[in-house]
Amino acid sequence: MRTYILRRVLTAIPTLFIISIVIFTILAAAPGDPLSQLALNPEVPPEVRENLRRALGLDDPWHIRYIKWVWSMAKGEFGYSFSSHIPVVELVKQRLPNTLAVVGIAYLIAALFALPIGVLSAVRQYSFFDQAATTFAFIGVCAPTFFTGLLFILIFSVKLQWFPFIYDTTLKIEDFDSLLKQIKQSIMPISVLALFQMGQLTRFTRASVLENLPMDYVRTAWAKGLPERAVVFRHVFPNSLIPVVTLIALSIPNIFAGAIITEQIFRVNGIGELLITSTLNNDTPVVMGLTFIYSVLVVLFNLVADIIYGFLDPRIAYE
Amino acid sequence: MSNSVIPTTTSHPSTAAAPISHAPRTLWGDAWRRFRRHRLALSGSFVFMFLVLVTIIGPFFWTIVPTKIDFANAYKGPTLDHPFGVDGSGRDMLARAMHGGRLSISVGISAMIVAIGLGTLIGSVSGFFGGIIDMLLMRLTDLFLSLPQLPLLLLLIYLFRDALRRVVGPEIGIFILIIAVIGGLNWMNTARVVRASFLSVKQKEFVEASRCLGASDVRIIAAHILPNCISPIIIAATLSIGAAIILESTLSFLGLGFPPDFPTWGRMLNDARDYLDLAPHTILFPGFLIFLTVLSVNYMGDGLRDALDPRLVM
């Protein structure tokens, strides 16, 4: 198992490396001068601009610039935000926990609901429950997060006034009251994200369980007289989880995309909201840094999924 | 299996049972029959056709200009004059929805063509030639699958938007950029399924036969293998229209898609966010249209999957 994990970690490094090349190429191929804002400023004479270019290494050949760029990324130096003049790393540090909390809790809730629903709807295929579950899952997959988010605001904040409209980012949890407030304001963003994940996860689980049900080992389990609960949960379920984990790994970029939209709608101060505001404000260092951080997150979670996969299916680890 | 050497028409059960000669059952006929049985898929395709037709023909009959501003009547809900109501600047929502639908749907279909074209090309080259080419292309596919799609889309649009706008004009520029980036980041599934079916089809005898007859690689791929892989391509194509429409709406919703004067459905939602409490209908109509389009396209894809893949018993 240890060599398997080591091998996975080692293959993640070249992936990150290539992704960094992709991002750098996009940036290098993009038209426009990073110092164009200075060019418009009459107080900055052209000589100063030239010196600045040289100091920033903008005239170096591309491979030198790439190495410098990757080296500073690896050290965690993403530069300073144009608009707030705070190091990008600081901004990310403030906001990353919020994003991870929202995504993590949403995914946990989605899994808690989706896995049992998926299993039950496969075991009772074509029953009323199955029909209802598959229809809802399909709707969940098709409804874009920005629409469900707005619908939630419309129903629960505007009409029913149960939850606050906008996420209060300055709220600190000190006592029971503020904790309750925090829970109240987190319910909508988390449930929008959870609903979106639930649809997909239910479909994956159902398909995978259906594939496993006619297998020989299941027939054996039935034949030796095991009760249904044991057959389904001890034999079918663990085996069905294996492909589900792969599919989850593949949908990780989608999960973060969903989080970007949800954060933007509810104004949760996560890195997704930062990405959108920085993009609209032409804050290049933040946009670049965040794109790279998203890549790191996706690769990291893929790695985690791979390792879980290795635990679920020991055959993989011994290959 | 000795009787299979001499094929006789009478041994066919359907012709033996019915004395009147039937039209022969074809692959596509069978698929159509199976598709018709999938009620949701059938209604999905009707809804999608209807939406496409209304967005194409509608503006010729509903002649209100979608950009005409009328502040006196702003925020009004649905009335007979404006069945979808008007938005915060008093613009007619039905006209905007129809014009926006043209854009949203054509972006969806164009991006699908880009994605399917790329995916088919990469998948078929990879599956046909195998070896080191296959290895490299599949690594590339894996890499693209692990890219953070939305941040990258935002980055690409952010960096190239202004340059393209200067070269080819605002509307065409952003249109080309959006379909290129959406298509360019969505070909991976198609490449995988095309490669998989190429791997199985290229083993067949008829491929060997055409190779013996001296057919070139390109001819074998285009005339012999590809037509046999058309089912997974059609399914992937249908499903990717929905994905592309969602992505385009997301970009417009985030304010990074089409500029404000082009009312795509996502853009309308973005505008409507600011006066959500005053005029809820401005969210419901465009949002529901996106949802309906994606739902119908996806049901269509689901039905096509059942119809075109007879091995799959659902």
Query: What are B57-74's pLDDT values in tens digits?
Result: 877 877 777 777 776 676
The ipTM is 0.80
pLDDT of residue B314: 38
Hey, are the CB atoms on A146 and B249 less than 8 Å from each other?
yes
Residues 6+ apart with CB under 8 A from A12: A299, A300, A302, A303
Average pLDDT over residues A236-240: 88
Hey, are the CB atoms on B298 and A27 less than 8 Å from each other?
no
Is B13 among the domain residues?
no
Nearest by CB to B154, which of A151, A253, A279? A279
Q: Is B250 on the interface with A (CB under 8 A)?
A: yes
Minimal-distance CA residue of chain B relative to A277 = B254
Please report which helix (H) or strand (E) contains residue B200, including its range: helix B188-201
Hey, are the CB atoms on A141 and B269 less than 8 Å from each other?
no
Judged against a pLDDT cut of 70, whether residue A58 lies above it is answered with no
Tell me the chain A residues in contact with residue B266 when contact means C-beta distances shorter than 8 Å. 146
Q: Residue A34 to residues A14, A26, A64, B235: CA-CA distances in angstroms? A: 28, 14, 17, 43
Is B312 among the domain residues?
no
pLDDT of residue A169: 67
Is B188 among the domain residues?
yes
Tell me the chain B residues in contact with residue A299 when contact means C-beta distances shorter than 8 Å. 146
Three-class SS state of A80: strand
Hey, are the CB atoms on B148 and A253 less than 8 Å from each other?
yes
Tell me the chain A residues in contact with residue B150 when contact means C-beta distances shorter than 8 Å. 253, 256-257, 260
- Burial of A94: CB neighbours in 10 Å, binned 0-12, 13-18, 19+: middle
Hey, are the CB atoms on B150 and A291 less than 8 Å from each other?
no
Is B55 among the domain residues?
yes
Å from A234 to nearest chain B CA?
Answer: 25
Tell me the chain A residues in contact with residue B151 when contact means C-beta distances shorter than 8 Å. 256-257, 260, 275, 290-291, 294-295
User: Range of B106's domain?
Assistant: 27-60+93-307
Hey, are the CB atoms on A32 and B280 less than 8 Å from each other?
no
**Interface A-B: count of C-beta contacts within 8 A:** 132
Of the candidates B86, B95, B27, the residue with the CA atom closest to the CA atom of residue B310: B27
For chain A, domains (ranges, CATH) are 35-75 (no CATH), 88-312 (1.10.3720.10)
Residues 6+ apart with CB under 8 A from A301: A249, A252
Hey, are the CB atoms on B254 and A158 less than 8 Å from each other?
no
φ, ψ dihedrals at B147, nearest 5°: -80, 145
Q: What percent of chain A has pLDDT over 90?
A: 4
Is B18 among the domain residues?
no
Hey, are the CB atoms on A279 and B253 less than 8 Å from each other?
no
Q: What is the CATH number of the domain that holds B283?
A: 1.10.3720.10
Is B70 among the domain residues?
no
Of the candidates B159, B176, B173, the residue with the CA atom closest to the CA atom of residue A24: B159
Tell me the chain A residues in contact with residue B188 when contact means C-beta distances shorter than 8 Å. none
Is B12 among the domain residues?
no
pTM of the predicted protein model: 0.83
When mean pLDDT is compared across A100-109, A264-273, B77-86, B175-184, the lowest value belongs to B77-86
pLDDT of residue B11: 44
Q: Is B101 on the interface with A (CB under 8 A)?
A: no
Nearest by CB to B148, which of A250, A261, A295? A295
Average pLDDT over residues A77-91: 78
Average pLDDT over residues B136-153: 86
Hey, are the CB atoms on A302 and B149 less than 8 Å from each other?
no
Amino acid at B238: T
Domain count, chain B: 1
**B107 compared with B309, residue with greater pLDDT:** B107
pLDDT band at A87 (very low <50, low <70, confident <90, very high): confident
